């Protein structure tokens, strides 16, 4: 079994409903970049002992999109026709029923790799035979995975300026039927998914909502030919969202049909690389983008606007919001600049110097007034990467 590395599926049964317990010995792990994980037979030890009472176990490993899994194993199992007396089964495509699995037995070490970002490994032993194995699982980039994310076109949030037309292909807006403006922002993360703030979806009827993409001035159709409205098929509010304390203010929206990606509509880069480096973004510059008001209690802007903001530490932020700020939140403050009403749910975008791509690091949540002495507070996206991937299971994200 995978000791400290893989998680027993009994702890994940509410969120991974497709997986049924594998005779009580069933494990799952999101494999992280730069780490190696050990898999070994139950009660395996250096002196060669093995627990014969546990006959079957399964390990389900998942990599971030853009990576594949490498499995290296040493096996000491009976060699027989079709490996029927004891074997390791490996589904390189990640099928839980192992219907396409390769079988391994005998004493020859082997190495194999996944064909996507998931792999399922199982031990199956005959009752009359002993045997053991030990494997290592790690990641490498999938060079066959083509992807694009985080591109911007180069050529009034408070203190902000109007963006270039279609400068931010990943930025969308939430609209309601019969409402003549964008009421909240959103950020495209995949062809059928976008991220917004949970509070934007409270008391909203799914059937009346739509996601506006590829637009600049929503009052005219003359500026861009890429503007499109997509009806929503599903919303997923974070299960621990607290509207009183403004905690976990994060939600996913899914469109009924896949969005058409083009030069004006595309996905943001999710901060996989920044999770691995434990980046807090303190003292870094981010850009907030949205159709929000240019002043407190003012009307929303018909033009998409942007503003550069400075990320401050959570300890600094707590001076303005005592006992309110958690590690899952990110604060920004710049004199006379801020997000405002209707910017909620929109992105804080960080430009990575090494590649000039835009990464989603914050989802605008709340503040006190607009451009006051109080910081703006956003949900910190790096804290929610596992939740995002868990609730978009068929999406292969671009990892850059």
CA angle 285, 287, 291 (to 5 degrees): 160
Residue carrying the six token digits 């058409």: 260
**Paired sense of beta strands 26-30 and 102-104, if any:** unpaired
Per-residue model confidence (pLDDT) at position 95? 87
Q: How far apart are CA 280 and CA 331, in angstroms?
A: 10
Asked if residue 333 is part of any domain, the answer here is: yes
Per-residue model confidence (pLDDT) at position 179? 74
Q: Clarify whether residues 257 and 385 are in a common domain.
A: yes
Q: Clarify whether residues 176 and 240 are in a common domain.
A: yes
Fill in the DSSP letter of residue 361.
E
CA angle 267, 269, 270 (to 5 degrees): 115
Asked if residue 206 is part of any domain, the answer here is: yes
249 is catalytic: yes
Per-residue model confidence (pLDDT) at position 1? 29
Q: How far apart are CA 184 and CA 374, in angstroms?
A: 21
Tens-digit pLDDT profile for residues 282-333 = 999 999 998 876 544 455 677 888 889 999 999 999 998 887 899 999 999 8
Residue carrying the six token digits 């991220």: 195
Asked which of 85, 113, 141 is the last residue of a domain, the reply is 141
Asked which of 141, 170, 191 is the last residue of a domain, the reply is 141
Question: Partners of 75 in the beta sheet?
Answer: 133
- CATH of residue 383's domain is 2.40.10.10
Query: What does the block give as tokens for 249?
Result: 């203010």
Q: Which of 26, 249, 328, 343 is catalytic?
A: 249
Q: How far apart are CA 380 and CA 388, in angstroms?
A: 12
Per-residue model confidence (pLDDT) at position 300? 63
Residue carrying the six token digits 């990576």: 67
Asked if residue 398 is part of any domain, the answer here is: no
Asked if residue 81 is part of any domain, the answer here is: yes
The alpha carbon of 49 is separated from its chain's Cα centroid by a whole number of angstroms, namely 41
Asked if residue 147 is part of any domain, the answer here is: no
What residues make up the domain containing 185? 161-390
Mapped onto helix, strand or coil, the DSSP state of residue 173 is strand
Asked if residue 88 is part of any domain, the answer here is: yes
The candidate with the shortest Cα–Cα distance to 62, out of 119, 20, 111, is 119
**Could you say which residues of the chain have pLDDT below 50?**
1-5, 8-20, 45-50, 156-160, 295-297, 338, 341, 371
Q: Clarify whether residues 69 and 210 are in a common domain.
A: no
CB 312 within 8 A of CB 330: no
Asked which of 141, 174, 209 is the last residue of a domain, the reply is 141
Residue carrying the six token digits 């994980």: 37
Q: Clarify whether residues 346 and 211 are in a common domain.
A: yes
Q: How far apart are CA 312 and CA 374, in angstroms?
A: 11
Q: Clarify whether residues 361 and 232 are in a common domain.
A: yes
Q: Does the pTM of the predicted model rise above 0.75?
A: no
Q: Clarify whether residues 172 and 114 are in a common domain.
A: no
Per-residue model confidence (pLDDT) at position 54? 55
344 is catalytic: yes
Residues written for the chain: 400
Q: Clarify whether residues 11 and 110 are in a common domain.
A: yes
Q: Clarify whether residues 63 and 130 are in a common domain.
A: yes
Q: How many other C-beta atoms can be found within 10 angstroms of the C-beta atom of residue 278?
A: 7
Q: How far apart are CA 84 and CA 90, in angstroms?
A: 15
Per-residue model confidence (pLDDT) at position 362? 97
Q: Which of 91, 344, 365, 378 is catalytic?
A: 344
Asked if residue 267 is part of any domain, the answer here is: yes
Tens-digit pLDDT profile for residues 95-145 = 888 989 999 999 999 999 998 888 999 988 766 667 788 999 999 888 777
CA angle 169, 172, 174 (to 5 degrees): 170
Q: Which of 199, 216, 238, 274 is catalytic?
A: 199
26 is catalytic: no
Asked if residue 282 is part of any domain, the answer here is: yes
Q: Clarify whether residues 134 and 167 are in a common domain.
A: no
Q: How far apart are CA 82 and CA 150, in angstroms?
A: 48
- CATH of residue 69's domain is 2.60.120.290
Number of domains into which the chain is organized = 2
């Amino acid at each position: 079994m995978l000791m400290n590395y893989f998680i027993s599926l009994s702890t994940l049964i509410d969120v991974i409903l497709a997986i049924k317990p594998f005779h009580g010995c069933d494990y799952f792990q999101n494999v992280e970049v730069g780490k190696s994980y050990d898999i070994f037979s139950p009660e395996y030890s250096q002196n060669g002992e093995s627990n014969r009472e546990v006959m079957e176990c399964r390990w389900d490993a998942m990599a971030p999109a853009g990576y594949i899994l490498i499995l290296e194993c040493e096996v000491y199992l009976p060699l027989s026709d079709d490996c029927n007396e004891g074997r390791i089964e490996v589904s390189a495509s990640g099928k839980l029923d192992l219907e396409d699995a390769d079988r391994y037995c005998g004493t020859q070490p082997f190495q194999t790799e996944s064909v996507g970002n998931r792999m399922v490994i199982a031990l199956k032993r005959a009752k009359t035979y002993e045997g053991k194995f030990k494997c290592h699982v790690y990641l490498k980039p999938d060079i066959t995975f083509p992807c694009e994310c985080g591109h911007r076109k180069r050529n009034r949030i408070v203190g902000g300026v109007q963006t270039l037309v279609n400068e931010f292909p990943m930025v969308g807006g939430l609209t309601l039927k019969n409402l003549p403006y964008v009421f909240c922002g959103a950020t495209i993360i995949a062809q059928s998914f976008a991220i917004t703030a949970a509070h934007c979806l409270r008391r909203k009827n799914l059937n009346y909502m739509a996601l506006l993409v590829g637009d600049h001035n929503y009052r005219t159709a003359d500026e861009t030919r890429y503007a499109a409205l997509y009806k929503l098929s599903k919303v997923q509010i974070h299960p621990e969202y607290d509207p009183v304390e403004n905690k976990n203010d994060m939600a996913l929206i899914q469109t009924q049909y896949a969005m058409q990606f083009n030069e004006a509509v595309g996905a943001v880069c999710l901060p996989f690389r920044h999770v691995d480096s434990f980046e807090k973004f303190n003292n870094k510059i981010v850009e907030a983008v949205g159709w929000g008001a240019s002043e407190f209690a003012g009307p929303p802007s018909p033009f998409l606007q942007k503003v550069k903001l400075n990320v401050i530490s959570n300890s600094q932020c707590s001076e303005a919001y005592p006992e309110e700020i958690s590690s899952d939140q990110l604060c920004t403050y710049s004199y006379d600049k801020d997000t405002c009403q209707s910017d909620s749910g929109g992105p804080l975008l960080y430009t990575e110097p090494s590649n000039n791509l835009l990464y989603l690091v914050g989802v605008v949540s709340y503040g006190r007034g607009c451009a006051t002495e109080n910081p703006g507070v956003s949900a910190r996206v790096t804290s929610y990467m596992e939740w995002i991937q868990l609730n978009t299971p068929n999406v292969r994200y671009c990892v850059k």
